Amino acid sequence: GSGTSGTADFPYAKVYIGNQQNQPSYQPTTTRNNSQPTSPATGGSSGEICSASGHSGESTKVTSNKVGSINGIGYELWADSGNNSATFYSDGSFSCTFQNAKDYLCRSGLSFDSTKTHSQIGHLYADFKLVKQGISNVDYSYVGIYGWTRSPLVEFYIVDNWLSQYRPGDWVGNKKHGDFTIDGAQYTVYENTRTGPSIDGNTQFKQYFSIRKTARDCGTIDITAHFQQWEKLGMTMGKMHEAKVLGEAGSNGSGTSGTADFPYAKVYTGSSSNNASSNNASSNNNNNNNSSNNNSSNSNCAARWAQCGGNGFNGAKCCKEGTCVQMNQWYSQCQ
């Protein structure tokens, strides 16, 4: 047609590891860059996530294809044609604006070094809120979680919403595994094998999809629960390269337009925020890393790669393994 337009805004979007908490806590396969920064974030309560209405902290606006980071949180903007931009904030939120784009994606979340499986990293979660603004001419779209693994090379999608008129259908994969209840909701699981651009160049790789039956605009995605369901179906996961909150839209015509705003978006590892208060090693908001903060015998300590400190952080400030390393004034991580 004449092209699609609009905005899909994610005022809340986060990915994380652990038992689900109420803590504050793409593209089709033409991958653009594999040198993405490592950046976990913290989680939030369901009320905080779904009531989020704005962005906070420092910001950076990107107007061309770019991979970068802000406040230790990795991001990427990629588009095929059009007049596009994305703004990423130090609190993890971001906003994606596209005009007459054939394919557009922006994403923000965690990057890894492809040396550990998801089970070695810990339990991954993502919090997000999506606000759609002026969306038009969208023929396909994925909103949710996106990432890659190596050994084997796998591109994966967990789709909780879409900017298109219709839910993504059977065309996404050449093998349909069926419908499954994952993290309390019904998802259709697909598997695909394709050859094309990837994080390791133009090669053959697997694609895995979980597509939610009913779209939702906000909430917490239990990423690890999807990984576990896929593995039960023989869909092997490799060593983690990334897991990010994704907003993607594409058009088969003259281009898609609009804004996808994420006033809340975080990806993280850890325990469920419903138990966050009982896991607090201290109510003090500090990043001090001393021996008392790194007691591996403490079952309430944070897992490796989880948050262990930062201004405003009220979770566990000790590590089950490794040490608590300060990344910035807002975020410290068990490494």
Catalytic residues: 155, 248
Report yes or no: 268 and 41 within 8 Å, Cβ to Cβ.
yes
Two structure tokens written together for 14: 């986060």
Distance of CA 63 to the CA centre of its chain: 21
| Dist. CA 15–CA 110, nearest whole Å | 7
Hunting for tokens 């596009």 — which residue is that? 84
User: Is residue 325 classed exposed, middle or buried when 0-12, 13-18 and 19+ CB atoms within 10 A define those classes?
Assistant: middle
Look at residues 76, 90, 84 and name the one whose alpha carbon lies nearest to residue 33. Answer: 76
Residue 291 to residues 107, 215, 278, 298, 304: CA-CA distances in angstroms? 36, 46, 21, 12, 16
Distance of CA 9 to the CA centre of its chain: 14
* Run of H or E residues at 20: none
Distance of CA 62 to the CA centre of its chain: 19
